[in-house]
Amino acid sequence: MSNAPPAIRILPARLEDAPALAMVEWDAYSRDPVSLVMFGKSTPEGREHRAKELAEGMAKKDPKVHYIKAVLGDDDTIVGVGIWHFYLDEESSKAIMAVDLKQKEWSTGANVDACMEFFGNVYKMRERMHGQRHACFTSHLYHVFDKVDFFGFG
């Protein structure tokens, strides 16, 4: 008789999860050519910078933004991250956030020009959505493929 694979549970992310969430994000994109051009290889400084950004976002406690984590097994190993933005009516969609990329602090080693080009286009798309009805969109959705695929979940 085979053992059942560990269950994956979806839970709200907490501030103290930020370093693990940043690691999942780096792991998920570690082989993506676009991410490598924008951010380079994973470094402790880069992961720390991203963990700080995630913690700051969660600390705002914006009711329209939901940080979630996927945890594997009984030890609650974080294997997935999602950041969901919910705009349930036209009025709330006017609050879709755009970041001033010229003022943003980028992680050490980031290709600032590439990041500004990429994220600039993302924020332009969000600005086009202002005032429209959108139920939700995700700004981030990652999982660590190796751990999940190992158990046949991928």
- Write the Ramachandran bin of 71: left for phi over 0, alpha for psi from -120 to 50, otherwise beta: beta
Residue 75 is predicted with a pLDDT of 83
Sign of the torsion angle spanned by Cα atoms 80, 110, 19, 11: negative
Q: Give the pLDDT band of residue 154 (cuts 50, 70, 90).
A: very low
Residue 132 is predicted with a pLDDT of 67
Give CA angle at 79 (60, 1), nearest 5°: 145
Per-residue pLDDT of 83-122, as tens digits, reads 988 877 777 766 666 678 899 999 988 999 999 999 999 8
- All structural domains of the chain, each given as residue ranges with its CATH number in brackets, are 8-144 (3.40.630.30)
pTM higher than 0.85: no
Per-residue pLDDT of 12-36, as tens digits, reads 999 999 999 999 999 888 889 999 9
Residue 149: is it exposed, middle or buried by C-beta count within 10 angstroms (0-12/13-18/19+)?
exposed
